[in-house]
Structure 1
Amino acid sequence: MANKNKRKEVVGVLAGVLFTACLLVGIVILSCHVRIRNYAKELVYDDTEQIPENKVGLLLGTTPMLKNGRSNLYFDYRIEAAAELYKSGKIKYILISGDNRRRNYNEPEEMKKALLMYHIPDSVIVLDYAGLRTLDSVVRAREIFGQDRFTVISQRFHNERALFLAGKHGIQAVGFNARDVDTYAGFKTRIRELLARVKVFIDLATRKQPRHLGEPIPIP
């Protein structure tokens, strides 16, 4: 009987510890999410008429196809938004920043091909093959491409994080929101985004820098 009571006590203590740990993790995640959202709420735009002009639009990379072979709507909608912003006259150049680490995987080139289909001139498209993470894309836009103010182009949740990073690195940026993907299709992405927002604060605390820097590449 004594052993059974002792086991119950141990289980109760472990359950309490687990609950407290989960609660603390939840508070941290929520706090990071709210801080980033609140910072960016006045810096994101859905309408080309309202958004201020900038020389460069930073188009954040993603893959055109999902693992199941379907088209990636995040990709399609970002291309659509970048083309709309350029044709509205609110940007003069499109800097595409994405991943090119693996053979047969080249986000910037795929996005460039898609933009050309929208009749965006080749001469205004600039490629950054070392945008391995949002942090890399944002910081490299200044350190490599010489832009200390620009317009970020992605879905709103992604823009918010990019703008927060930009602000913390002394960059003046606004965001143009691409159409979002419905909640069901984008559920996994939203979960990853919550964790990515926590990673933002870890990166800032550790003064994380882009994996690759290098020689300046000026945009005319």
Structure 2
Amino acid sequence: MNTTNTRKKKKNRTGRSRAKRKPNKVRTLVLILTGCLLFGVLSIALMNIYVIAKADDYIITPEQAKEKNADCIIVLGSLVHGDNTLSDILEDRVKTGIALYNNGVSDKILMSGDNGRVNYNEVDAMKRYAVARGVDAEDIHTDHAGFSTYDTMYRARDVFEAKTVIIVTQKFHLSRAVFIARSLGLDAYGVESDLRTYTSESYNNLRELAARVKSVYSVIVMPEPKYLGDVIPISGKASSVEDIIDESGKQ
């Protein structure tokens, strides 16, 4: 009888011990996951702060840009609509680039963007827009392989042999662009092109959080861009609009 009671007591104690261990395991797992989440959020925040801080001193006004004796003004690409009209964001970048050119910041413009698909060409649309507003076509170089901000800056240095550059893009993007360019050895400065309020601002700001993290990785690893190619000195003459039309077959 005593033996039976003893066995029952042991079973009860064992059951209670197992019941206690299960919540402890769950609690430990929750703590680990919470710690990982907090670490990830903190890392993203710190890398964003780092990129912004590194670029902050080099974001300047159009008036200050005139003092930099820049080799070129880099206008970064963005969405072009199906009818080859520029999106609001891209139009404001090109307008700002034209204004800097007209104000004597540089006598060369490098328009860089995506031409990775047969029926999609950001840079030719950008160049046509600028030429239609009085910019000399031979002063506008086009980088058809600017698939990312990193690729653009790498190619500006190695393909177009630029050294001092003024980068034109919106505020949300500018810190990262300047950070990448300076990390690659360019004497780079940025001018904001925010000429209006954009419907995609919230999305752009959210996307930029991840893009800045990626930029830190890129400048550490320093991968080559998708395409390099022959050297095309930014100091030389660019193709005329007629050459572009002949190449694309479009008016």
Q: Same fold (TM over 0.5)?
A: yes
CA RMSD of aligned residues (A): 2.3
Report what 1:80 is aligned to: 95
SS of aligned partner of 2:192 = strand
- Structure with the bigger percentage of helix: 2
Matched, 1:103 2:121: no
Size of the aligned set, in residue pairs, is 216
Q: Which whole-Å deviations, capped at 9, do the CAs of 1:156-190 have from their partners, x for residues lacking one? A: 23221121112212111111110066476311111
Match of 2:200 in 1: 185
Distance 1:134 1:159 in 2: 10
Report if the CA contact (8 A) 2:81-2:87 is conserved. yes
Distance 1:183 1:21 in 2: 35
Match of 2:70 in 1: 54
1:162 to 177, 180, 188: 177
Note if contact 2:80-2:121 (Cα within 8 Å) is conserved in structure 1: no
Distance 1:117 1:80 in 2: 12
Q: Which amino acid aligns with 1:43?
A: Y
| C-alpha contact (below 8 Å) 1:156/1:180 kept by paired residues | no
Judging changes above 3 Å, is the alpha-carbon distance between structure 1 residues 64 and 50 closer, same or farther for their aligned structure 2 residues? Answer: same
- Cα deviation for residue 129 of structure 1 reads 0.5
Query: Secondary structure at the residue paired with 2:213?
Result: helix
**Given the two structures, how large is their TM-score scaled by the length of structure 2?**
0.78
Match of 2:140 in 1: 125
Aligned-pair identity in percent equals 28
Unpaired runs of at least 5, structure 1: none
1:7 and 1:207 map into 2 onto residues whose CA distance is: 47
Counterpart position of 2:217: 202
Residue 78 of structure 1 deviates from its aligned partner by 0.6
1:72 deviates by: 2.8
Whether the aligned pair in 2 keeps the contact of 1:144 and 1:216 (CA below 8 Å) is yes
Partners of 1:80 and 1:10 in 2: how far apart? 60
Measure, in 2, the Cα distance between the counterparts of 1:74 and 1:160: 16
User: How far 1:204 moved relative to its partner?
Assistant: 2.3
Structure 1 position 143 matched with structure 2 position 152: no
Change (3 A) 1:131 1:149: same
Indicate the residue corresponding to 1:20 in structure 2: 35
Deviations 1:47-71 (A, max 9, x none): 32222341300111111339xxx96
The unaligned stretches of length 5 or more in structure 2 are 1-14, 237-251
Moved over 3 A (4+): 1-11, 180-184
CA distance in 2, matches of 1:185, 1:217: 35
What TM-score does the superposition give when structure 1 sets the normalisation length?
0.88
Name the structure 1 match of 2:241.
none
Counterparts of 1:135 and 1:108, CA distance in 2: 17
Q: Which residue identity does 1:75 align to in structure 2?
A: L
C-alpha distance in 1, partners of 2:208/2:32? 27
Deviation of 1:199 after TM superposition, in Å, equals: 0.8
